[in-house]
């Protein structure tokens, strides 16, 4: 998967993808949005988009993030 993403995404796109995933992890973990913005250097708009994704009942991202945090 890593090689696939390296082939199809630019370095900037990979960075954006990493940040989006990280901010959604932080949201799942209960970190406040303003703290996420400060720590990751991202806009509240990006965080709001991630939060909307996680609020969807059928969110694949939410499924994987919750699976990650299960012992």
Please give the Cα distance from 12 to 46 (Å, whole number).
15
Contact 63, 43 (CB under 8 A): no
Range of the domain at 45: 2-68
Q: How many domains does the chain have?
A: 1
Q: What is the pTM of this model?
A: 0.82
Q: Residue 55's pLDDT is what? A: 94
Q: Is the pLDDT of residue 70 over 80?
A: no
Question: Above pLDDT 90, what percent of the chain?
Answer: 82
Please give the Cα distance from 54 to 35 (Å, whole number).
18
The 8-class DSSP code of residue 43 comes to -
Mean pLDDT of the chain: 92
Q: Residue 66's pLDDT is what? A: 86
pLDDT band, very low/low/confident/very high, at 69 (cuts 50, 70, 90): low
């Amino acid at each position: 998967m890593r090689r696939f993403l390296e082939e199809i995404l630019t370095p900037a796109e990979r960075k954006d993808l990493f940040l989006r995933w990280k901010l959604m992890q932080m949201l799942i973990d209960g970190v406040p949005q303003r703290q996420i913005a400060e720590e990751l250097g991202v806009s509240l708009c990006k965080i709001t988009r991630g939060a909307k994704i996680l609020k969807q009942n059928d969110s694949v991202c939410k499924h994987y993030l919750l699976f990650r945090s299960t012992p």
